[in-house]
Structures are given as C-alpha cells and as structure tokens.
Amino acid sequence: MTTDHTEPLSLPECSRDLSGGTARPIRRAPDPVLSRQAERVEAGTPEVVSAAADLVATLREGETGAGLAAPQIGLPWRMIAFDARRHPRIRSAAGEVVLVNPRLVEASRWEHGREGCASIAGLTADIPRATRIVVEGALPGSGESLTIEADAFEARCIQHQLDHLDGLLFLDRVPGVLSLHRRHHSCDA
Ligand SMILES: [Zn+2]
C-alpha cells in the first residue's frame, strides 16, 4: 500500500483530546449490536468523550481500515471515526475525525466501488455510494458543530460508517451476488 497521500486539509484537531483511549475488540456479524438503530448521544458527556477515545484507539490499531462506527466496538451510539489518509485512493481527507450524531446533508454523483468491513471477515463487495457528500456532526467534548465536505474514498468511508448507525452492513446494500468478492487485500472502507 502506498503512502503517497495528499496533505490533509486543516480542520480542528478534534482528536487531540482523544488520546489515552483503549482499543476494544471489534464486534462481528451477526452480533445484534450491528443490526440495531444506534441512539443519539450528548457529545459533551464524559461517557461519550471516553467512548470517542476508545473508538480512536481502536481505529489507530490499523486493523479496521479507514473508519469505524461505535456499534462496532459494542456501543449502540451515533458516533463514527474515520481517517481516510490510511488509504491510497484518497482525494479529500479531513484527517482523523470523530463525529457525534453525524448526519448526511448532501450526497451526489453515485458510483460503484469496492468495500470491506472489519465486522465481516473475508468478503468485499461493489457498493453504490455518493462520491460527493457533505456530513455534519458534533465534536466529542466541546460539542462544536463540524461540517465536512468529502469526496471519493473518504465520502464512501463516511457513508459506510453512517450505515452502521442505522444497523446496516455493506452486505445489505449489495446489488447482486455477482457484486460479492472474496477479500484479497485489506482496503476496508
Ligand atoms: Zn464497516
């Protein structure tokens, strides 16, 4: 995997206060936490800040690809973490970001692209996603609102994480069995 990335845009370093978390085991399908609707949470509470730090710690372990959603570490809460700089195909990259109660506000230019998931071993699939999105959410701790414009792989990664909050796995979006592949690489969304 190459590391020839473009420089990330400068955004609030929301992860600065999120060190010191503990990596947690990844829940795998068919764990029920992965198929339920996650709940909105208060971004400023100590429990949410602590969980955000754990999410970041788990993401930084590097076995989950470029993104992770709270249900994947067993928390049915609306919170996602991503860092598209981990992937060679990136165009936009906001850096390492955690969003609480994230919401997709714009989506356009749909394309198929390959996805995998740390919660589903051994499979990838071609999934249609918007290649340009705008997502809003709150930063853990301050609760400050953040709006991110993303495209290409980062947009795909964020949509994949948002699906986790609605109890959807990428397999739920596979358009047909011919879109399913055995995994040959580790380029997770
Ligand atoms: Zn996933």
CA of 71 to the centre of ligand 1 (A): 10
What is the reported pLDDT for 181?
A: 80
When the candidates are 3.30.70.250, 3.40.50.2000, 3.90.45.10, 3.30.565.10, the CATH number that belongs to 29-182 is 3.90.45.10
5 is in an annotated binding site: no
User: CA 26 from chain center: how many Å?
Assistant: 13
Task: Delimit the domains of the chain by residue range.
Answer: 29-182
What is the reported pLDDT for 88?
A: 72
184 is in an annotated binding site: no
CA of 115 to the centre of ligand 1 (A): 9
What is the reported pLDDT for 186?
A: 45
Model confidence over 5-45: pLDDT tens digits?
A: 444 444 444 445 688 899 999 999 999 999 999 999 999 99
How far, in Å, CA of 30 to CA of 32, rounded? 6
Contacts of 71 (CB under 8 A, 6+ apart): 27, 33, 34, 36, 38, 77, 164, 165, 167
CA of 42 to the centre of ligand 1 (A): 23
Residues of the chain with pLDDT under 50: 1-15, 185-187
| pTM of the shown model | 0.86
87 is in an annotated binding site: no
